[in-house]
Amino acid sequence: MNSFKRIVFGLMSFVIVTGLCITTATLASDTADAEQSKRTSLEIPVQDIQRFSTVIAQIKRYYIETPTDKELFNNAIRGMLLSLDPHSAFLDEDDLKDLQTVTTGEFGGIGIEIIPENGYIKVISPLDDTPAFKAGMKAGDLIVRINDKIIRKMTVRDAINMIRGKRGTFVDLTVLRKGEKKPLHFNVMRDVVKVASVKNKMLEPGYGYARIVFFQAPAADDLKNAILKLQQEAKGQLKGLIIDLRNNPGGLLDSAIHISDLFLDAPKLKYDGLIVYTKGRIPGSDIRAKATPGDMIAGVPMVVLINGGSASASEIVAGALQDYKRAIVMGTRSFGKGSVQTIIPIDRSSGIKLTTALYYTPAGRSIQATGIVPDITVNELKVNKEQEDKLLDDVDEKDLSGHLGNPKIKESDKTSKESTNTKESTNPLEDQTAVPTNPLVYEDYQLFEALNMLKGIHVERGDSEAKIIVSKPSTVATKK
């Protein structure tokens, strides 16, 4: 949490300093008009305050029940923030506690990242090895009932309270899923959710795999230790590394920066060595994070796996490694959550989560509502012994109600850009002369293709100094 607080309080301190500067700036005639305009934009019209007070008075006088002043004001604040975008929100005391426990890696529930959507609750991603993950819930699932109660227009807090409960008890969830004609029903047992930030294994001699589940505070150190173990197991001869960011909903910005920096050697980088930068309405929301010297694995080929459940911090890492051609990004287009939320305290027990800026990759690409387009698109297939393929459904930030648009890309350009920059390559499942023998093809087709990519790079490189060259994005053809 310390790194997270530094970012948040850094932004808040700027706001305070700006407020003090406005008073002194009026002494300078050349800036007086500009400062007057700033003050005017921050003023609240008296007429609107009166209308608001009138509504509260009428509710207290005529409503069938007697709501407290705190309930009325808290609900009013919630409504204001929810109307801005899907990620801005009012945080009461319980919400603030939740935020702290999630980023430290242990919390109660069933293990899903959720967001309000059209009056219902949408699953951004189920976290690995959690009750929701084991029950078969997927990114993009729309929860419409909790314990047979319709949740239309229910707040996220109310939904969370209903989903939570004592360890060992069950919650019934009714879910709508793209491609399914009927609602799905899940009876999920609640548990204490402990999220290990990084998992690792050796796929084949020399080819390592590390999955980042969530960008918690210790994630960078955990990944570093995982890679050291892989290097030790490979006896110092690591030939390739796969970083799996699929269904990773994000987390702390600092964690994403430190993880990207593990593989980026600052003296060799263009784009001024940037890992990520942000732009907001006020200068204090602008952050520029740069790489430091040194690459932990000294140019060993890398593949980064992403999908529609990869959001926020995951997209920062994938975008940075893609821009510098340090890794080949494979999978499907990411979620597209490229906005920055700042936690601003209101009092001792509440605060607001407010969207204050947008993320940009080193090359200046905005992630918001467009996501990261992989260099090589490999659809998420479920392959059985008879080679019957099933495509999974995509989940996008751009599908969320009230999402922020991407300021750099016109709506009409999105489909043309993706269609013109792709080409097809052979799918071994369609080539009857190429019979896959690796059981990984049936367990995880995308991971199977990533491993094949690393093997191909190793063959083509010839020596350890050769560089990875990624030209135009291509599409791995899939059986439909």
Active site positions, annotated = 312, 323, 337
| Residue 27, SS3 per DSSP | coil
Other Cβ atoms within 10 Å of 243 Cβ, number: 27
Radius of gyration over alpha carbons of the chain, in Å? Answer: 24
Identify whether the C-beta of residue 263 lies closer than 8 Å to the C-beta of residue 296.
Answer: yes
> For residues 209 and 30, what is the distance between their CA atoms, to the nearest angstrom?
59
> For residues 291 and 440, what is the distance between their CA atoms, to the nearest angstrom?
35
Strand partners, 347: none
Residues 6+ apart with CB under 8 A from 116: 82, 86, 122, 155, 156
Identify whether the C-beta of residue 111 lies closer than 8 Å to the C-beta of residue 123.
Answer: no
> For residues 134 and 130, what is the distance between their CA atoms, to the nearest angstrom?
6
Strand partners, 244: 211, 305
Question: What single DSSP character describes residue 125?
Answer: E
Q: Quote the tokens at residue 331.
A: 């999978």
Secondary structure E strands in 361-458: 376-377, 424-425
Other Cβ atoms within 10 Å of 391 Cβ, number: 14
- With residue 332 as reference, give the H or E element that holds it: none
Strand partners, 349: none
> For residues 361 and 275, what is the distance between their CA atoms, to the nearest angstrom?
7
- With residue 304 as reference, give the H or E element that holds it: strand 302-306
- With residue 405 as reference, give the H or E element that holds it: none
Handedness of CA 334, 339, 344, 349 (dihedral sign): negative
Q: Quote the tokens at residue 242.
A: 């796969």
Determine the residue type at 66: T
Q: Quote the tokens at residue 88.
A: 């801005």
Q: Quote the tokens at residue 425.
A: 């390559």
